[in-house]
A = this chain, B = another copy of it.
Amino acid sequence: MQNNANDILNPFHSFKLDPQSPLPLYFQLYESLSKRIHAGEIPNGFKLPSESRLAERLGVSRITIKRAFNELADSGLVSRKRGKGTLVTLNTALVVKGGVLEMTSNIAAIRHRTKAKLYNRSRDDIPESAFNALKLPMSASIETTTHALLLNENAVTMSVTYAPSELIKNFSDEDIERESLITLMQEKGIRVSKADQVLTAIAATDYHAEVFSIPTGSPLMEIQCLMFDQTGTPCQFVKSYFLPEFYRYEMTLT
């Protein structure tokens, strides 16, 4: 099936942005495209029109389109490549039953066999994607922690966690090195009851390269995990990176 910019213009035919809305134009566009991609109305592999073409079509600035496309890319819904345009990514989605307990006991088992090292805690420079994932307004306070798990003094995984500051402000650095945030939250009555996970492969950045003592660009397994508490409220958004030689994700589908 060949797709081109003309095909995709149809979904935009009746498409209107509302300049009177309190929602920014880029966000209206992002939300609408995100819904259509999730609903399958804009299929996987589809090529979106160019920024300039869509800007002209919708009568908004190219900056607005660029920002909406960047948000889509941050959410993993599209892939942007110089010279190849913006393509809707191929997702394979599985609903996994009975998995949260297994996930939390796996995390506990891995922590038991490794030594945690806290690199950083901060409430500054939180990316917009973390606010979006946690469904919090930009005015909310989010804390990020970065830690690695070491096996024989070598990092085998590192995680960047975002959580509402309120939920983790009372945990000391020692708490965070001692137990997973899931366990610490559980002790405060917050139980993870659902998790959305996305698995993919990435090239190590300079920062990953330093943490793992590997060359920049080496393959790493990335797992993004958004955890929800028993009330359905997002309580943690985690991006974890694994050295593939030491980590495999096994599943039995029945």
Pull 12 A–B residue pairs with CB atoms less than 8 Å apart, ordered by A: A3-B152, A45-B246, A89-B245, A90-B242, A90-B246, A93-B102, A95-B252, A196-B250, A198-B248, A199-B221, A200-B247, A201-B201
Q: Given contacts A92-B110, A94-B102, A194-B254, list 10 more A-B pairs with CB under 8 A.
A: A79-B246, A94-B96, A94-B252, A95-B254, A96-B254, A97-B254, A100-B253, A199-B249, A201-B219, A202-B219
Size of A's binding interface in residues, CB under 8 A: 65
Q: Is the interface of A mostly helix, strand, loop or mixed?
A: strand
Q: How far is the CA of A242 from the CA of B221 in the complex (A)?
A: 13
A203 within 8 A of partner (CB): yes
Asked if B252 contacts A195 (CB within 8 A), the reply is yes
Find chain B residues with CB under 8 A from A33 CB.
none
Q: Is A114 an interface residue (CB 8 A)?
A: yes
**Is A24 at the interface (CB under 8 A from chain B)?**
no
